[in-house]
A = this chain, B = another copy of it.
């Protein structure tokens, strides 16, 4: 009915953390989720103009739904909406990416303390399986797959912690800085180290100690921040697309 022939059947990527966890759909939810996916998965570049009519045709929705979706994405920080001038994919600056990561760090630290108190044997089994899969991807030389599993791993911890507010914020922050995450994969040797850090996190959780878990997570995230800083420095000297 709504999946028109021209709409390119957006696949639900693991990169989308589903900001509204419960099943209740809300106003213009379909167009919103589709657009969100297109942006987060990088189909639109930053600063690219988002013309309502085009999007409506592309997603097989009314201009109405597109409008609602854009407002929502603007509020979420993924899109910049200027009066009478339409919408663009919001470009997050280096500085903002670091700010975001900084907030992410403290939220993840807080959330893992909750997780450590609530984690069950089944949860630990799932987490270990996640890490095993990551190890596989690593040995396959599949850094993109590793990154997906990485996201899944962290989301699993959010679920265990059962802290809706923090999870929501984290999901939003992550979607805003996703573009930077991709670059961080490229750092040589980083994934191996990352894997060890994840293993340490699982073991800390297994001990059910909030302090140890937070320490392990802090250790991990401080490395992530460093890698992000590295990625930014690299990009600054070898910009991908020059200012015109």
Contacts and interface: CB of A to CB of B under 8 A. Distances in A.
Contacts of A74: 26-27, 72
A237 to B, nearest CB: 25
* Identical subunits present: 2
A173 B76 CA distance: 14
Interface residues of A, number: 32
Nearest to A29: B83
A75 interface: yes
A54 interface: no
Interface in A1-43: 24-29
A225 to B, nearest CB: 13
Interface stretch (A119-127, A162-170, A194-202): A162-170
Contacts of A29: 83
Interface string A80-101: 0111000000000000100110
A103 B107 contact: yes
A29 B27 CA distance: 19
Contact of A83 (B25, B71, B76, B81): B25
A165 B24 contact: no
A99 B210 CA distance: 17
A192 interface: no
29 contacts: A25-B83, A26-B74, A26-B82, A26-B83, A27-B67, A27-B70, A27-B71, A27-B81, A67-B68, A68-B68, A68-B71, A71-B71, A71-B72, A71-B75, A72-B72, A72-B74, A72-B75, A96-B164, A99-B163, A99-B164, A99-B165, A102-B110, A102-B165, A102-B166, A103-B166, A106-B106, A106-B109, A106-B110, A165-B173
Given A27-B70, A102-B110, 15 more contacts: A24-B82, A25-B83, A26-B74, A26-B81, A27-B74, A67-B68, A71-B71, A99-B163, A102-B165, A103-B165, A103-B169, A106-B107, A106-B109, A106-B110, A169-B169
